[in-house]
Chains A and B, each alone.
Chain A
């Protein structure tokens, strides 16, 4: 990712968030930010990056929005809005960006939107991902994803989904949906479905930043803390992510993130109100406690998985832990009961277990099945290595 792209990715969510509040129009905000980025791409390489890139993007985008409103203004109401915007603040809004980002997040995660639209919209608005990137992440055609995002934005505008953080009393009902979306942003960061890198640190940073905002919003609510811990512990492994967890060089893990994650898990345990994010964070903390894969407290890992709802992904991960505890044939029997055929991970896990059982031909076929199901080139290279290492 070029430095310019880096700035765009960091600025996108903040700029859209601030402008959406000022303009009261998500679509207009997004288009104005895109126009500002186009100006930046044309001028920054020659003139240099401005001292406050995000502030520059926000200010330029506001000018673009004002230009557009003036061009399209048909009535006095719109003209009044133009006047109000021009009189609006210049630089100081960057401090209020936190609130704006929470507003944007809660709007994108509104329960009146379909769950699959919420995460897509969040990746687009807060994360600044393009529609093709989001489509690839969710394995749906680009046109389908474009239609989904357009429909969601249309509904936000037409049904007047409010641009605000819900009142204290309404927060509990809105919480799970927001946490789930931030978790999915983190998941996409940690194993991107496409691309050339095994992780997307930019997205991981987005997810962590959003989780911090949520913890600050409801400090007494342990699930947000658990989610933040999970995101940190997962992100800590990014430097070693070229290999799967069982063969990672754990000395590469980011110690600061590991320690913060583990401290958050301890805080959650003291509160004593477990939830799915906290349990997943606890599992990640058990891994972080072990110096190597072989040193892992597998009984503890299995016990924690038993606390989670038995989704196919949980069943698959639990089977991996059981294989370490009770042997590969017991693990394989569990894996074969998991309904997750489209996942490359399932086939890679099967392949590894088959290899350990000396069922080489079946292992080779399972690696091929895994390879057929990922478009991430780093993951492909690792699978090819493991397949070639078969006797």
Chain B
């Protein structure tokens, strides 16, 4: 078994979904998590706050410097992620496909190295 990171590729610009729009999405995400758990594939799921809430720590000689904001500004950001266990890429891609169906955003599937 290998582990895969399913990242939610979230657009940075444009309108953010309203609470009403989010509700059915969250219900589908919950259902998917249950399905993953029942299949023994689920490891972890989390949704992230906006990148504007991030703080970056940079090594500065012996010191650590604090910087406001995300480490890289991009058109998209990591909005949330799920870690699954899967025997191979096809199985991981199936979970990825179901995540796309639940959230309606692009999902990046990437294997863990260790």
Contact = CB atoms under 8 A, between A and B. Distances in A.
Interface string A104-145: 000000101000000000000000000000000000000000
A158 B87 CA distance: 12
A161 B89 CA distance: 5
B111 A112 contact: no
A88 to B, nearest CB: 22
A161 B88 contact: yes
Contacts of B90: 161-162, 166, 170
B88 A112 contact: no
Interface in B25-84: none
A42 interface: no
Contacts of B110: 159
A160 interface: yes
A160 B3 CA distance: 10
Nearest to B93: A112
Interface in B87-110: 87-90, 93, 109-110
Interface string A140-184: 000000000000000000111110001000100000000000000
Given A159-B111, A160-B111, 17 more contacts: A110-B89, A112-B89, A112-B93, A158-B111, A158-B113, A159-B89, A160-B2, A160-B87, A161-B88, A161-B89, A161-B90, A162-B87, A162-B88, A162-B89, A162-B90, A166-B90, A170-B90
B84 to A, nearest CB: 13
Contacts of A159: 89, 109-111
Contacts of B109: 159
Interface residues of B, number: 10
Nearest to A111: B93
Contacts of A161: 88-90
Main secondary structure of the interface of B (DSSP, over half): mixed
A161 B109 CA distance: 12
A67 B64 CA distance: 50
B96 to A, nearest CB: 10
Main secondary structure of the interface of A (DSSP, over half): loop
A158, A160, A161, A170 — which one has the most chain B CB atoms within 10 A of its CB? A160
A372 B110 CA distance: 44
Contacts of A110: 89
Nearest to B94: A170
B2 to A, nearest CB: 6
A237 B31 CA distance: 58
A302 B105 CA distance: 43
Nearest to A112: B89
A161 B90 CA distance: 7
A346 to B, nearest CB: 38
17 contacts: A112-B89, A158-B111, A158-B113, A159-B89, A159-B109, A159-B110, A160-B2, A160-B87, A160-B88, A160-B89, A160-B111, A161-B88, A161-B89, A161-B90, A162-B88, A162-B90, A166-B90
Nearest to A156: B89
- 6 closest pairs, A vs B, by CB? A162-B88, A160-B88, A159-B111, A159-B89, A161-B89, A160-B89
Contacts of A170: 90
B99 to A, nearest CB: 16
A161 B93 CA distance: 10
B112 to A, nearest CB: 10
